[in-house]
Amino acid sequence: MLATLGDGLWNALLMAWEVWWALVLGFAISAIVQAWVPRERIEHALSGGGGRPVGLATALGAASSSCSYAAIAIARSLFAKGASAVAALAFQFASTNLVWELGVVLWVLIGWQFALAEYVGGLAMIGLMWGLLRLFVSRRAEADAREHARRAAGGHDHDHAHPHGAGAERLTTRERIARLDAWAEVGHNFLADWRMLWKEITAGFVIAGFVALLGDDVFNGLFVTDAPGALQTLENAVIGPLIAVLSFVCSIGNVPLAAVLWSGGISFAGVLAFIFADLIVLPIVLAYRKYYGLGFALRISALMLVTMVLAALLVDAAFGALGLIPSGPRPTRDDVFGAIELDYKLVLNALATLLFAALLAVSRRQPRAAPAHCH
């Protein structure tokens, strides 16, 4: 019992060692974008269902945190202020699929093909959701949900203030680089993201570490492996989100488990559908119910499930036609979890730790006027 516990935790530590530098780099880039790309300027432009509001919502989401809980809270706020349902959902998809840190960690753990597929799939989900919205949500249901959202209180807020002073939004990038208060805001955003996501990330590593001890026979029982390729791909694309829903792991925390699933035999489409499904895990669906009411929560959850499966299948087909799906031997568990050695990862992790410490120091030197908070 103790040996099994130790092996699972050691696997989790090894995976954290593999991606520590990538996590810090991704969160730092995200924090810079959040601090230096003003959000307030475009919030008012998100009403309506045309291309411009959807495009702006997508850009705003890609510039935001990858925290799923923060994404749905901000989307609820935008929706209550007049943003259309399609724009609010586009924001959610973008903020959980088009952010830097997710792509970097995917690249490190299972390859650049998955990182590219994640970005392509995120855009595909937004397009599919846009086209299918009215099949699931009537205008009356959308109006009722907006009224419910306006009455909803609390949530998992992720309020990135910009206390740079008057005229700060007009600063150039070069001017921001030279200002300590601009870097302090980066540090505040960086730490806010870590505060929100450390539990999900830790849970992802720990679950992946213990799932890896189960052996491939467990996965062979879940995934169809002896059926025609098309049927196997379809089954895996459906089972992937179900595993995500039952695992309760969301945001970037589901990437370690995705690597283990890929090692265990799930298809390319199954991995993508699993990663896409972080917006329909059970705690998130319960939050939708609180924000919008039960009926709208079920409708948008069903809509997102359909778009996730379809996007995974479309990307799988496109990447297969282009020869971009990895065709060599699957990574072994040792490949996924790596090892602690005197190599380039040691140098990168040391530099990442210094960057983490520097952003922590600069944020503490200049306290934030309106701190990010998270319920």
Query: Residue 49: inside a domain, yes or no?
Result: yes
Q: Which has more confidence, 66 or 301?
A: 301
Beta strands in the chain (DSSP E): none
Query: Residue 375: inside a domain, yes or no?
Result: no
Task: Determine the pLDDT at residue 76.
Answer: 82
Mean pLDDT of 131-150: 93
Task: Determine the pLDDT at residue 337.
Answer: 75
43-57, 118-132, 270-284, 308-322: lowest mean pLDDT where? 43-57
Torsion (CA) 41, 44, 48, 51 in degrees, nearest 10: 0
Q: How many domains does the chain have?
A: 1
Structure tokens at 264: 């265990």
Average pLDDT of the chain to the nearest whole number:
82
Query: Residue 370: inside a domain, yes or no?
Result: no
Query: Taking Cα atoms as reference points, which of 88, 42, 58 lies closest to residue 291?
Result: 88
Query: Residue 204: inside a domain, yes or no?
Result: yes
Query: Residue 257: inside a domain, yes or no?
Result: yes
pLDDT band, very low/low/confident/very high, at 227 (cuts 50, 70, 90): low
Domain span including residue 119: 2-365
How do residues 37-62 score in pLDDT, each as one tens digit?
A: 655 555 566 766 678 889 988 988 88
How do residues 333-367 score in pLDDT, each as one tens digit?
A: 777 777 788 888 899 999 999 999 999 999 888 77
Query: Residue 222: inside a domain, yes or no?
Result: yes
Query: Residue 294: inside a domain, yes or no?
Result: yes
Query: Residue 16: inside a domain, yes or no?
Result: yes
Task: Determine the pLDDT at residue 64.
Answer: 74
**pLDDT > 90 fraction of the chain, expressed in percent and rounded:** 31
Do 196 and 213 contact (CB within 8 A), yes or no?
Answer: no
- What burial class does residue 180 get, using C-beta atoms within 10 Å of its C-beta: 0-12 exposed, 13-18 middle, 19+ buried? exposed
Do 74 and 279 contact (CB within 8 A), yes or no?
Answer: no
